[in-house]
Amino acid sequence: MNVEAIIREKLTQELNPDTLEIINESQKHADHASSPKTGQSHFKVLVVSQSFLGLHKVARFRKVHKILQEEMNGPVHALSLDLKTPDEV
């Protein structure tokens, strides 16, 4: 299972982003006691999308967490999010 590919597919399908960058940062956390040591547990994500228009920061985070709920309950231990509208870049 490629977690990064799943994240990319779900966010692309649900948010139709202008920009989507996903960085796997799992290697930075491999020595942490709580790390699942799968190599696919910590991600940094930048999404620029019209779908965030009119949503405050917390609502944007909730929207993305809902989309990735299955991954957040499973293989993803940490998710750093940078969520913007096109006019915010």
pLDDT, residue 80, reads 96
Domains of the chain, earliest start first: 3-88 (3.30.300.90)
65 or 33, which is more confident: 65
- How confident is the model over 17-58, as pLDDT tens digits? 999 999 998 876 555 445 445 567 889 999 999 999 999 999
- Phi and psi at 17, nearest 5°, equal -70, 150
Cβ(63)–Cβ(51) below 8 Å: yes
How many CB atoms are located within 10 Å of the residue 77 CB?
17
- Long-range contact set of residues 28-34: C-beta below 8 Å, sequence gap at least 24: 29/77, 29/78, 34/77
